Amino acid sequence: MGESSMTLVPHYRLGFGFDIESNDSICHVVGDDEGRFVAAFEGLIIKIPFFTFYLGEFSELDPEVLEIED
């Protein structure tokens, strides 16, 4: 895995429920000025009406790890 750091990322959503989850098995496609990459997220996901907050670490996955062999 690449770099990781504790971060708080807000995200808009269309929901009215409240929820707090602990997660260590979710991956996201993340985009930045250098392009897109797959990142693993480990931390808390807090959902309140209209917002989701990710509080934890995003770690860039090595592209070689993602290759699937038949």
pTM given for the model: 0.68
Q: Cα separations (Å) of 60 from 47, 51, 52?
A: 24, 24, 21
Every domain of the chain and the residues it spans: 10-62
Please say if the pLDDT value at position 70 is more than 60: no
Tens digits of residue pLDDT in 21-57: 998 888 888 877 778 888 888 999 999 999 999 899 8
